[in-house]
Structure formats: structure tokens, C-alpha cells
Amino acid sequence: MVYTFLLTLLVVDGLILTAVVLLQAGQGGGLASLGGGTTDLVMGGRQAVTILHKTSWISGGLFMFLAVLLSITASRGRTGESEVQRRLRQQVPAQQQVPAAPLQTAPITGTTGTTGTTGAAPAPAPAPAPVPPPKP
């Protein structure tokens, strides 16, 4: 519940921060100052601190504080087990309870008569005769 509340505050603060930064007028800094030294005079000097400037600093600081607080809350409040992991752990014992079918090592041989009964198994085949070595 605390996690959801903090996440909601973070999203609202992010929206406020976005709006405040977009409402501020540019000061001609960044790439605009590459044209020469007179851009500061044309664009104006250092402006007075406005309410938008203060609001952007406050909401930016609040955003970072909420992000750190949210990460701490998320790491302490959970055991690290997701719903998928919990379901997988429940399925493993269920699969182990089913007895495994025995492996069949010899093939089933025999013929089926017309009545559907299995005939007797044939005798095992004799071992093959050894191959004589080739003559030179």
C-alpha cells in the first residue's frame, strides 16, 4: 500500500516537473552560445529567480527523493519471490508425486493372432559367426 502511494506521488511529481520545465523560457545557453560572446547580451543576462525556477528545483529534488525512497521500500517490503516463481514451486512437487513409468529395456516381440492374443516370444537369435581375416 505504501509502495502504491509513493509510486502515485512520483508520477504526479514527474508530471508537475515536466510542465514546469516546459513552461520556462530559454536563456540562450547550450548550443546557442556557440555563435559568439554577444549572445548573452542579446538574450539577456542572468534572470531573476522566478516561481517556475524555484518550483523546478523543488519538484526535481522531490522526484529524486521519492525515487530513492521508493526503491528502498520496494527492496524491504518484498521477499523477492514473484507470482510466477511461486506457481513454479507449487508445480514441482505435483510433478514429483506422479510415479515414473519404468523404462523398457527389451523390445516387445511377438505376433498377434486373429483372436487378439499375443503369441510366444521367439527364441533369441544365435550369435553371428566370426569373420575370417582376409587372405593376402
Read off the pLDDT of residues 92-130 as tens digits, 9 standing for 90 and up: 655 555 556 666 677 777 666 555 555 566 667 777 777
CB 66 within 8 A of CB 6: yes
**Separation between Cα atoms, residue 10 and residue 71, nearest integer Å:** 12
Higher pLDDT, 68 or 102: 68
Read off the pLDDT of residues 6-55 as tens digits, 9 standing for 90 and up: 999 999 999 999 999 888 877 655 555 555 555 555 555 556 678 888 99
Q: Which 3 state secondary structure label does DSSP give 112?
A: strand
- Residue where the block lists cell 514441482: 92
Residue-by-residue DSSP string for 94-109: HHHHSPPPPPP-S---
Residue 68, pLDDT score: 95
- Which residues lie below 8 Å from residue 121, measured CB to CB, with a gap of 6+? 109, 110
Residue 5, pLDDT score: 93
